[in-house]
Amino acid sequence: MQQDSVDRHIAHWIKEIPDIDPLVEGVITRMQMLAKHVKQYRHAAAEAHELEPYEFETLHMLGGCGPDYRATPTEIATWLQMSPAAITGRLDALERRGFVRRLPSPDDRRKVIVELTKAGHRTWRAAGGEQGAEETRLLSALKPAEQRQLDAFLRQMLFLVDRPDLLPTPKDARSSRVANG
């Protein structure tokens, strides 16, 4: 079997920490390296479309609020796990670039709704498509049955740490708005 950088990492550290479990170290370190690669690729894809990674995240959140692609600044902040005040600067920059627009709330004139524009949607989809292609490329190292098996194994592991707020989605923000009136 061909060695990868993690095998070399383990060979080094087992000399320093003899009781290290090479299987655990190998699995966890490989997951970390793959996650790091995906994050770096995501950032590069965003930058290729002249977006900062945080701008892509904001467009992505609104892209999940279809078919009207609208949310309140508070909903966006909730999904991105930021304070509502911190989201204002992001929205200002995206609005100046024509990727979002603010509309008056039909329910309360003191509030606004943020809407993804056609240009914002186009840019979000282009950057996201590149990210998706890289993720598909990585998974293509496995046969389809192995991909499903890996998914099942990772799901089992995730159950050990999963909780409702671990991965918020736009639907969660909308559900809380309905529940909170």
**Which pLDDT does position 41 carry in this prediction?**
96
The whole-chain average pLDDT of the chain stands at: 91
**Which pLDDT does position 176 carry in this prediction?**
45
Grade residue 170 by pLDDT with cuts at 50, 70 and 90: confident
Instruction: Give the neighbor-by-neighbor strand order of the sheet with 70-71.
Output: 70-71, 112-116, 100-104
pLDDT digits (tens, 9 = 90+) for 40-69: 999 999 999 999 999 999 999 999 998 899
How far is the C-alpha of 120 from the C-alpha of 30, rounded, in Å? 34
pLDDT digits (tens, 9 = 90+) for 8-23: 999 999 999 999 999 9
**Which pLDDT does position 172 carry in this prediction?**
55
pTM of structure: 0.82
pLDDT at 173 over 70: no
pLDDT at 71 over 50: yes
* Token pair recorded at residue 179: 């529940």
Cα-Cα end-to-end distance for the chain: 59
Average pLDDT over residues 99-111: 92
**Which pLDDT does position 177 carry in this prediction?**
46
**Which pLDDT does position 165 carry in this prediction?**
79
Helix H or strand E segment including 126: helix 118-139
Tell me whether strands 100-104 and 112-116 are parallel, antiparallel or unpaired.
antiparallel
Grade residue 166 by pLDDT with cuts at 50, 70 and 90: confident
* Token pair recorded at residue 29: 């370190």
